[in-house]
Each structure stands twice: as C-alpha cells, then as structure tokens.
Amino acid sequence: MRRTVPDECDVLLREGGIAHIRPLRPDDRARLHELVDRSSEHSAYLRFFTGGTATAHAYMDRITASDYPGRALVALSQGRLVAVAEYIPGDAGDAEIAILIDDGMHHHGLGTLLVEHLALNAADEGVRELVADVLAENRPMLRVLDDIGLATTRAFDDGSVEVRIDPRPTPGMLERIEARAHQAASASLRRLFHPESVAVIGAGRAPGGVGHRILRNLLQGGFPGPVYPINPHARQICGLPVYANVGSVPGPIDLAVIATPARTVPEIARDCAGHGVRNVVVVTSGFAETGGTSAQDELLRICREAGMRLVGPNCLGIVNTAARLNAGFLPHPPAPGRLALMSQSGAVAVALIDRANHLEIGISSFASVGNKADVSGNDLLEYWEDDPATDVITLYLESFGNPRRFGRIARRVSRRKPIIAIKSGRGGSGERAVRSHTAAAATPDVAVDALLKASGVIRVETVRDMLDTARLLATQPLPQGRRVAIVGNSGGPQALAADACEQRDLLVPELAPVTRGRLRSRLPVAAAVANPVDLTAGGSAQELAFAIETVLADPGIDTVMVVYTPPFGSGLGRTRQAIARAAMSAGKTVTACISGHDGLLDGRVPCYAFPEQAVQALRHAVDYASWRAAPQAPPADPRPADTTARGIVAADLECHSGGRWLDYGTAARLLGCYGIQMAESIEADGPDSAAAAAVTIGPPVVLKATGPDLVHKSDVGGVRVGLGAPDEVSRAYREMAGMIGPAMTGAIVQPMIEAGVEIIIGGVAHEAFGPMLMVGMGGVTAELMADRSFRVPPLGDQDAAAMIAELRCAPLLTGYRGRPRADVAALREQITGVGRLLDDLPEVAELDLNPVIVTPAGAVAVDVRVRLAPAAPPPSLFRRRLR
C-alpha cells in the first residue's frame, strides 16, 4: 500500500469552516460516546437501522477495540470529534462503508469529504468495491454517494438501498473535487474580506505605531461595522472605547488584526479562538522569516484547531475597497477599482499601490500574505475568481507553496479573468549536480515560465509592466488578433511604435482601400493614410477622432494605438477628450500613447508615456487573448501509477538507497511500462560480448559506451556507427575503452536506425516544482540550438502537439523542403508516455531520451539516461486538504 499523503490533514468545509481528518485512535472512545450522546435517535437509526443510540454506544466500544478489522477516520472541529467514517474489508475484495456525523455538522460537506478520503484510502489498499447499505429515507447520504463522482450501482431491497462504488479515482471525481474545493475556499475568504466587525489588537495611542495606523485606516476608510481597539493600557483611542483583551469585547468579532510583539501572538490567538473569532491577520514579524518555524507552526495549529483562517504573519494586512475595509498599515489607501492584488513583499506592495493610485488604477481588494502560513495565492485565486468586484488579478510571488495546485487553479481562473504575475528570484540550477541535458536546461526559472505559460498567466518583469498591462486589460476588450493600426500627429513617435510592434511580432498592415479613401476625403492633404495614419502636427482633435473611428471600422484591424505629441493640434485637454470619445463604443482595443503622460483617459482608455510601454502591454494582451481563445485541452486521464513501474523503482532503490543512474536494461524496462518505444539493444561488458551482440542483431550495428558520467558520448569517442563484422565490433570496443577509460562501464549494441528527425524528450524533478517535461531538437545539437519547449505533467495529446508546434525545428517533421512527413502521432505518444512516467514516479530525478529518431515509420528512442533518487510521494490530486 503506497500512501499518497500524510494520514492527518486539515480540510475546508463547504461554508468555509475548518475540520481536521485523521485515523481513529483507541483513545477516541470517550469522544465517540460524546458524539453519540449529541446525536438524535433518528440519526442513530439512519446509521444503524435499529437500536437507536444504545446500539451506537455499543458499536463505538467495538471499533476502538484492539481486534477491530476496519479502517476508520474521524473528523474534529473546534476541538470536538464530530464524525466517524469507516470501511471494513471483506474477503471478496469489497468493503462495507458507513458514516456517523454530528447533527450540528450536517449540510457542511463533511460527509462528502469523508467519503472522498475513504474511497482514496480503499483504492490505495487495493479494495475493488465499496458497499453502502443505506435506508431509502436517508436521502442526504444517497445524494453524497451519487455526487462523489465515482462509478456507482444501486439495488433496492425492502426499504434499503445497496450502493456499490468503484473507489478508483476518475476524471469525474477530480472535476467534482475541484468544484467543491473552489466553493469551500471562496466561502472561507469571503468571510475574511467581508467581516461585520473588526478588532485591532495592539492598537496604541502613538500615531506612528502600527496598531494605531491600522485602527485609523479602518476608521478613515469608513468601515461600517463595529471596530474594537484592544489595549490593556488605554481607555480610549481615536474616540473609541478600548478593551483590555478580546474576551472583554461585548459582541462577536469576525476579523482580528494582531499587531503586538511576536512572543505574545500565540496566546492572543488562543484568546481569539476562545471568543469565536473567525479570521486573524498577524502583521507582526519575527516568525519563520527569521529562520525558525516553531512559533509559526504553533500559531497555525491554534488557528486551525479553532477554525480560523490566518493571513501572515509578517504582513501589511488586507484591504477590500468594496466593503470599505482597510485593515492594514499601507502608507496610502488604494482607490476603489477593479484590480485585485496579492504580494508576498510589503515593500513591493507599497510601490504597486502607490503607482496604481498615481495611474488612476483602482484596487478591488489587496492581501499582503507575508509568510503564507495559511492563506496563500492559491486561496486568493479561488476567491477572486467569483468576486464580482474584480476584473484583473495581479500577483507578486517569491515562492510557490503548492505549484501544481497553483497551476490547476490558475488555468481555470485564467479562462475567466486575466492573471498577471511577477515572480522574483530568477536563478539557474543552483548547486544541483545535474548530468543530463534536460536538468541543465530546465532551471527553476524555466519551470516557473512553463507553469505560468501553461496556466495562461501573464508573466511580467517589472512593476511598471504589470500596471501597464493591468490597466489595458481592466479597461479594454481583449484584442481579437495581432493587427494594429497606429493613428497620430507625429511621424517619429509613430515610427517608434511601428518598430516596437514589429519587434514584438505584432502586425501593422496597410489599411483597406475603402478606409484609406474615407480618411483621404476628410483629412488634410499632407496627412498620410496608409498605416501609420499621420495627421501631422496641425491635425485637430476633431480630425483625430474621425481618423480613430474610421480605422476602428476597418475589418482588417484589431487594435488602434493613438500616438499624440502635445501641445500640437488642439492641445492636450481637448485631444484627450476626443480620444476617449472615439474609443467609447469601439468594440475593439484602443490604447493611447501621449508623450510624457501615464494613466487613463476618461477612466477607460489606457494611456502610456512611451510607445514601447503601450506595445509591450498590448503584446501581453494579445498573447493572453490567443491562449484564452484556443480550445481547452481536456485534462489528462488520471490513472493509478503502473504497478510494474513502481515495482522496478522500489526494487532498485532498495538495492541502491541513495539512488543511481540506471543501467540501460533497467531503464528500458521502466520506460516500456509507459509504452515508450526503444531501439533494440543488447548490453555488453567487454569486446567479446559486444561482438556476440552484433552477431545476434546483424550488421550494420552501432556501438555506444555506457557509464553514469557519460553525457556527451560523441565528444569522447563513445559512439561508433556502421560496424559490420564481429571482429570490427570487438576492436571498436577496445579502442573506445582505451580512449574513455574508467568512465566507460560497458556498452550497448544496437541496429542502425533509419535516418530521421532527431528529437530530445527529457524530464527533471524539481524539489519545489515537481516534474518538468522538455521536448526539443535532439542529437548532438541539443544544447547548441537550445530549441526547447517545457510543460508540467500530466499531459494530454493536445499538450504534446502544442509542445512540438513551439519548436523551431517543427517543420522538419512535416515535410520541410521535400523531406518525407514524419510520424508525429508516434512522437506525441512518446511525449505523453514520458509525461505519465514523470507524474507517476517522483523518484525519477533526471531523464533523457536523446535522440528520439522520428521517421515516417514511427518514433524510436535510441539512447536513454534515467537517474533515480529517493523522493516523497506527491500529494494526491484527489485528496482535499489545506497545506
């Protein structure tokens, strides 16, 4: 049995509360009896069919006995055991399943969570079928079993229903799990961003103090609910009565902001838990960012056990302009708007918001997550996806807590709302000792790029680029293509704009004849009416508006960029108004470039000081629009890891506990589990065995040196082709061994393969990002040409096709200059096979298939290198849990 996650985990309930799921322990007996005492006779009847709570009490004694044959989970909420769920394996590969839930916890989604976890545990254990006997009147339980997303059958018998469930995960189960996880996370943060009351713990009298500034920001922002300053040493602050501690507050508290010394925070969090506080923001520093994690771990444990969500510690707080909530200590409050912002850095957040205010870009909500002990970017994406006040999401990221989950969430959210991200910390492979082409190329920053690109996230480099792009996406319709018309009054800046478009692969096509004719009929004789459209310095605001409207009507144009140099023509003020009016009902993307002016025109047309800014933002918008318009590839079919492959890996690591580079035969067997086609190969450990292998295969053959340190075999004389007679093969082996020395530990003999396109398929397991797949031009040119595409597994056929299409060498596969068309479908199968392997086997640390020779007859890997290393199993996609 291979567990995919730790046995204990915290989970979010449907309405945003928190529960803890863990295996049943013998010392739970007293709490199980308390659960029965809180249960109604009807609930006990539905679970046990007869005997009421008396039967239930007797059963709790049995399941905590040492000879209990079943597998049971319990759920705890706010310190109480509120549910027990079990399955009891039978002799025929099936298992009986049953659940009892506290009456007060019905309709919170806890039953569904427990069934999910039980089913996954049963599938891990090899149970083929779960069986539930449910009274026909127990409709809630029947709905839970029907909605779980697994294959079920029903049989009716005298007032009860026998439900049989195949516990093996399915795509339908994953889809429903993701929907339920989204609902729970969104509800959880809705309570955070829309509190009805706020307490500021550590609100002092000194105006410069953090707690005082948070309190004043709440009041000046007009928060409509009660605000409670907490300070044992004051009686009144900012005109409000002060309370000595949380327990003395007369009403409920939805949000507590803690701004006290780090040593006091855990005890204050316990006070908040005792008062029923639902959300905590800890702005205090001095936790994990200093190097130790024990204090932060304790703080998180207190919050989780109490069902409180935690923002921070070491953060600036949160803002929701729609709710008039400014629960932070930003120097300047953000203006209301449609842009959501998350930042791991307080300094970057301050710069972003100050710059956004200057550019007239309003903020819908903001979260400074600091150390991300609990609430993370993943949670915020779930909330902002449904937030009606948010149109564009911006993220400043320093790290990913769960990159694969981020990718799944971001890919879904990006279909509805653009996400713009800055990821700091660009670095190479660091200190990793890598000895494969793929690992050398797939640096952590490449992994970030692949993750964001596959998710539709717009990655930018600077704060300026982020806000330039954000204000275009927040105010304009998405571009429908790459065709740009440039309209303005100054040839030089317009030429710069056209050059910038060409450099960024945007088109500046000639306008349609009818468009040019209409422009010529109304514009001055000196005006140019091709593209760019230049009214010259004397062009009036009215003429500029006419030119914009006319060009927007051209069906061959997707975007109009207006380039204006003040104070010529009608002057800055009238020209700004004219541009805004002309763009009002365009239905197409309009941007403006007014020399020296950044911001918005009339609140709806993005304006840039320099042409390069406008073009860069437009290119981001075009790429995002293209990604969003592309057909969405179906998710890869989730399937259990190949048991034979798992056995190969486990056996090898048992013999080589630290891992190793696999010998060719073991690597080929492992790859064969995933349908990856390898060239026929015979291993040789000396000249005589090499000669014998050549006889078996038949001439001509290829001799290749093998050894864990041999990456570039051709460079050291480790490849000989076209060998014929056995003595020629034997002689080649001796010569090769003499040149290479101890690094050559053996060789393989292969038949000569028909010439074709050489492709490399590789993978690497990043400690932070998980597996990364690479496809590129292979053979000896793999590193020279650096023609590569990257993705995060698992991949479907469409993903593999997209990777191939991104390669500059792709035309070689499709009949370039009379070459025969290669079997691209076979190459896609190789790619998806490697993707499944990497997704299934985190112990595969490095992998190279180089080259894979693609011909009209198929795709065959002729060289392989695989390194295994011990690795923890990845979190299951199917098991909902808070990190």
Q: Does residue 638 form part of some domain? A: no
- How far is the CA of 762 from the CAs of 63, 95, 440, 669, 704, in angstroms? 49, 41, 11, 17, 19
Residue 680, pLDDT > 70, answer yes
pLDDT at 712: 72
Average pLDDT over residues 259-265: 97
> 367 near 342, Cβ under 8 Å?
yes
- Please compute Rg for the chain using Cα positions: 32
pLDDT at 657: 94
pLDDT confidence of 62, banded at 50, 70, 90?
A: very high
Among 157-161, 484-488, 857-861, name the most confident range: 484-488
pLDDT at 734: 93
One domain, residues 27 and 122: yes
Q: What is the CATH number of the domain that holds 525?
A: 3.40.50.261
Domain final position from 145, 168, 191: 168
One domain, residues 553 and 692: no
pLDDT at 403: 86
pLDDT at 636: 59
pLDDT at 84: 97
> What are residue 868's DSSP bridge partners?
660, 844
pLDDT at 1: 32
pLDDT confidence of 426, banded at 50, 70, 90?
A: low
Amino acid found at 694: A
pLDDT confidence of 258, banded at 50, 70, 90?
A: very high
pLDDT at 432: 46
Please choose, from the candidates 262, 251, 263, 206, the residue with its C-alpha nearest in 3D space to the C-alpha of residue 231.
206
pLDDT per position as a tens digit, 496-529: 999 999 999 999 999 999 999 999 999 999 999 9
> 753 near 733, Cβ under 8 Å?
no
pLDDT at 437: 65
Residue 434, pLDDT > 70, answer no
User: What does the block give as tokens for 4?
Assistant: 């995919």
pLDDT at 436: 65
Mean residue pLDDT across the chain: 92
One domain, residues 618 and 714: no
> 678 near 860, Cβ under 8 Å?
yes
Between 875 and 243, where is the model more confident? 243
Of 156-170, 384-398, 637-651, give the lowest mean pLDDT range: 637-651
pLDDT confidence of 2, banded at 50, 70, 90?
A: very low
Strands (E), 813-875: 844-855, 858-861, 864-868
> 321 near 363, Cβ under 8 Å?
yes
Q: Does residue 59 form part of some domain? A: yes
Of 445-454, 459-468, 609-618, 720-729, give the lowest mean pLDDT range: 445-454
- Judge if the upstream peptide bond of residue 532 is cis by omega within 30 degrees of 0: yes
Q: Does residue 507 form part of some domain? A: yes
> 387 near 362, Cβ under 8 Å?
no
Using CA atoms, how far apart are residues 862 and 865, in angstroms rounded to an integer?
11
What percent of the chain is predicted at pLDDT more than 90? 80
Using CA atoms, how far apart are residues 32 and 51, in angstroms rounded to an integer?
17
One domain, residues 611 and 506: yes
DSSP 3-state of 2: coil
pLDDT at 31: 97
Backbone angles phi, psi at 647, to 5 degrees: -65, -40
Average pLDDT over residues 57-80: 95
Residue 438, pLDDT > 80, answer no
Which residue pairs from 21-27 have beta carbons closer than 8 angstroms and sit at least 24 positions apart in sequence? 21/73, 21/74, 21/75, 21/113, 21/114, 21/117, 22/73, 22/74, 22/76, 23/71, 23/72, 23/73, 23/74, 24/63, 24/64, 24/72, 24/73, 24/74, 24/84, 24/86, 25/64, 26/64, 26/65, 26/66
Please choose, from the candidates 587, 498, 594, the residue with its C-alpha nearest in 3D space to the C-alpha of residue 544.
594
Number of other CB atoms surrounding residue 103 within 10 Å: 12
One domain, residues 608 and 692: no
Amino acid found at 643: T
Q: What is the CATH number of the domain that holds 731?
A: 3.30.1490.20
Give the domain range for residue 701. Answer: 681-752
Structural domain count of the chain: 3
DSSP 3-state of 882: strand
Average pLDDT over residues 703-709: 85
pLDDT confidence of 122, banded at 50, 70, 90?
A: very high
Using CA atoms, how far apart are residues 728 and 71, in angstroms rounded to an integer?
64
Q: Does residue 231 form part of some domain? A: no
pLDDT at 792: 86
pTM: 0.90
> 115 near 879, Cβ under 8 Å?
no
One domain, residues 563 and 701: no
Domain final position from 698, 724, 752: 752
Residue 170, pLDDT > 70, answer yes
Using CA atoms, how far apart are residues 619 and 599, in angstroms rounded to an integer?
18
Domain final position from 752, 770, 798: 752
